[in-house]
Structure 1
Amino acid sequence: MKKLNHETYDDGILTYGSIGSKFNSSKKKIGEEFNPKGKLFFKQLSSRDSDILQASNMGYVIDLKLKVPYRPDISSKNKVKINNEIYDIKKFDSNKTEIFLYLQRVGV
């Protein structure tokens, strides 16, 4: 019997979505809010030296490197929220089964 090798994503749950403007009743912008699109379990990975060097050359810092199951509706334009912290997706690599996300904390 062949042993199936399933990846475990047991380090936490992230929410992905976008940032939208928040308006009051008279349509005046009063701030921004996170608009969730979906949730994914993730596995936290450590950044390789090559990842850190590439990020540095591109002018950003990798705060988190995560691996998540593949979903067609997530893209590098999305924001990621983990425990009330919001991150930009600075780099996005995927194959047929998983996505690697390189995240930088927003506002840093």
Structure 2
Amino acid sequence: MITCTVRYEIDPAKLPEFERYARFWIAKVGAMGGTHHGYHMPHEGPNDVAYCHFSFPSLAAYEDYRARMWDDPECLRAYAFAEETACIRRYDRSFTRPVLEGASPEELGI
């Protein structure tokens, strides 16, 4: 499994627009074979930073999703909405491999 984390710099005055954009992707990633772990909106601290996390079974599955996005009319509408509203100033993506199962100290030899 590969998890993509996106760090957004958003316009704080356009938080409702960004949240509309975010809600679309939560549903769409699942419909396109991934698992969305949600968006994390500003609350305390910087008011212009948000994060999202979503996973695909492999990097190849993620790359397939990215290719299909550009042929999907709904995805294109979402991108157009973000551009028209200018709710996103910039973003960065990083990829990680999640560790999801815990173990006892005995199992770990600690």
TM-score calculated relative to the size of structure 2:
0.24
Higher helix fraction: Structure 1 or Structure 2?
A: 2
Higher strand fraction: Structure 1 or Structure 2?
A: 1
TM-score calculated relative to the size of structure 1:
0.24
* Higher relative contact order, structure no. (Cα contacts within 8 Å, ≥ 6 residues apart): 2
